[in-house]
Chains A and B, each alone.
Chain A
Amino acid sequence: MPALRLLNVTKRFGVLKAIDDVTFEVKDREYLCVLGSTGSGKTTLLRSIAGIIHPDDGDIYLDGERVTGVPAEERNAVYVPQTYALFPHMTVLENVMFGPLAKETNKNIAEETAIKVLRLVRLNNRADAYPNELSGGMQQRVALARGLSSGAKLLLLDEPLGALDVRLRLELRTELRKLAKESGLTVIHVTHDQEEAMTIGDRILVLRKGKLQQLGTPYHVYNRPEQIFVANFVGNTNFLEAIVQSRSKEGSTLRLREGLTVRVSDYSFENDEAVILSIREENTSITSEPRGDESNRLSGEATAVYFLGSFIRYVVKLTNGDEIAARVPIKEVDAEIKQGDWVSISFDPANTHVYEYPTLGLQGELEAS
Chain B
Amino acid sequence: MEQKRDLLEMFKTVAARVDKRAFPNVTYASKISDLGIDSLSVMQIIGELETELGIMIPDEDLVEIVTVGDLCKKVESRLG
Decide whether A and B assemble into one complex: no
A positions within 8 Å CB-CB of B: none
B positions within 8 Å CB-CB of A: none
